[in-house]
Amino acid sequence: MAKRRSVDPIYSMCVQPAFIIGTNNEDGTANFAPITWVSVTHEEGDGYLLVISMSGTKMTKKNVLRTGIFSANLVSTDMLPLMDYFGSKHAKDGAKNDMSYKVSRGEIVDVPVLDESRFVYECEVERTVETGDSTTFFCRIRNIQMDEKLVCEDIFDVDLTVLDPVIYSDKYHSIGKMLGNIGDFI
Ligand SMILES: Cc1cc2nc3c(=O)[nH]c(=O)nc-3n(C[C@H](O)[C@H](O)[C@H](O)COP(=O)(O)O)c2cc1C
Question: Do 19 and 38 form a contact (C-beta atoms < 8 A)?
Answer: yes
Residue 90 has pLDDT above 80, yes or no: yes
State which of 38, 60, 130 you would mutate to test the pocket of ligand 1, scoring each by most atoms of that ligand within 8 A of its C-beta.
60
pTM as predicted:
0.97
Q: Model confidence over 37-46: pLDDT tens digits?
A: 999 999 887 7
Residue 35 Cα to ligand 1 midpoint, Å, equals 5
Q: Average pLDDT, stretch 24-41? A: 97
Which residues neighbour 107 within 8 Å (Cβ) at sequence distance 6 or greater?
A: 122, 143, 145
What was the pLDDT predicted at 46? 73
Spell out the domains of the chain, with CATH numbers in brackets: 16-174 (2.30.110.10)
The helix, strand and coil proportions of the chain, stated in percent and rounded to the nearest 5, come to 15, 40, 45
State whether the beta carbon of 101 lies less than 6 angstroms from ligand 1: no
State whether the beta carbon of 25 lies less than 6 angstroms from ligand 1: no
Can you tell me the distance from the alpha carbon of 22 to that of 73, in angstroms, rounded to the nearest whole number? Answer: 7
Q: Model confidence over 5-22: pLDDT tens digits?
A: 999 999 999 999 999 999
Q: 114: pLDDT confidence band, cut at 50, 70 and 90?
A: very high
What was the pLDDT predicted at 168? 97
Q: 93: pLDDT confidence band, cut at 50, 70 and 90?
A: very high
